[in-house]
Amino acid sequence: MSSDPREPTGARPARDAAAGGRLGVALTPGSTGAAAANLPYKLPPPLFSARCTACWFTLGLLALVVASFWSLDLQWRQFLSMEALRSMGRFVAEFFPPDTSPAFLHKLMVGTWETLAMSVLGTGLAALVGLALAIPASRLHAEDAAPLRGVTRWILNALRSIPELVWASLLLISAGLGPFAGTLALAFHTAGVLGRLFAEAIENAPPGPGEALRRHGAGRLQVVAYATLPQVLPQLMSYTLYRWENNIRAAAVLGVVGAGGLGQLLAFHMGLFQMSKTASILAAMLLMVALVDVLSNVLRRWLTR
């Protein structure tokens, strides 16, 4: 800000103070606007502070990453060697051309439909079971419901702690080979994941409508059905669609242990080193996952707009 030489000297501090007030800078008597702009408390905070919890957390995380690289025997030189690159090149060349015979494409369509049906049915069952467990697991009840809340939360933790492949391996003993074991494996694991997400969404719902119903004598189930669920339903649907995307990928892999679908075809033909058929199966997986991702994104945007 330029000053007028004809301006009285005593008027300059008052003018600077008024300008500093408009700019949000506190001026001390005798200081100018340029000097006040360079006060220490206006500078950016230091990158590290002994009282900064996030700084210590970041340092701990970096130390863990460095320790992981140091403790694992990562053969980067061998992985990037010319011999390894030539071997990978020969392996990838065996995938071409993919098998497009009508008989194999028909088998591929059956496997794709089986994988898609496994993901849809497994996700639907998981959403129902997860919602049934999320209601008692959420903090919407009186203190006398605390034991039930603890039991349901433990069940949800147990369901999602076991991966789908482990569930499928266990269920093959009782359900046998085929898509039934894969569907149940997806349902069990996803029920634990969705149940936890649903419980958090229910807990974060605005309490106003529920309190209004309670004051008029409504019971717990009525409050959940008529006040809580209508508010969080778009969020619950968004979570379900997102897990459906993940289950498409999981269903394509579950067949490796004999749970049906494209994964079973992949394990069979790759085990026989039929790479042209393997390439067709991988292409079908990629196409199916891409289409499901697009459809799920469109549905989630429509639900949350």
| Other C-beta atoms lying within 10 Å of the C-beta of residue 277 | 22
18 domain-assigned? no
Domain holding 114, by residue range, is 102-304
Residue 8 is assigned to a structural domain of this protein: no
d(CA 204, CA 2): 54
Residue listed under structure tokens 């409504």: 218
Q: Do the domain assignments include residue 4?
A: no
Q: What is the pLDDT of residue 56?
A: 83
Rounded to 5 degrees, φ, ψ at 272 are -90, 5
Low-confidence ranges of the chain (pLDDT < 70): 1-50, 140-146, 304-305
- Which DSSP state fits 113? H
Does residue 129 belong to any structural domain of this protein?
A: yes
Q: How many domains does the chain have?
A: 1
Whether 236 is covered by a domain: the verdict is yes
Whether the Cβ atoms of residue 294 and residue 303 lie closer than 8 Å to each other: no
pLDDT of residue 129: 94
Domain containing residue 248: CATH number:
1.10.3720.10
CA angle (105, 122, 164) in 5-degree steps: 90
Tell me what pLDDT residue 141 has.
Answer: 54
* Phi, psi of 97, rounded to the nearest 5 degrees: -80, 150
> pLDDT of 173-231, one tens digit each?
887 778 888 899 999 999 999 999 998 888 887 777 777 877 777 777 777 777 778 88
Domain contains 285:
yes
In this prediction, residue 19 carries a pLDDT of: 47
Is 6 inside a domain boundary? no
What's the whole-model pTM score?
0.69
Please give the pLDDT value at position 43.
Answer: 61
Helices (H), 204-274: 208-215, 220-223, 229-254, 261-271
Asked if the structure places residue 72 within a domain, the reply is no
**Which of the 8 DSSP states describes residue 50?**
T
Q: Are the C-beta atoms of residues 106 and 289 closer than 8 Å to each other?
A: no
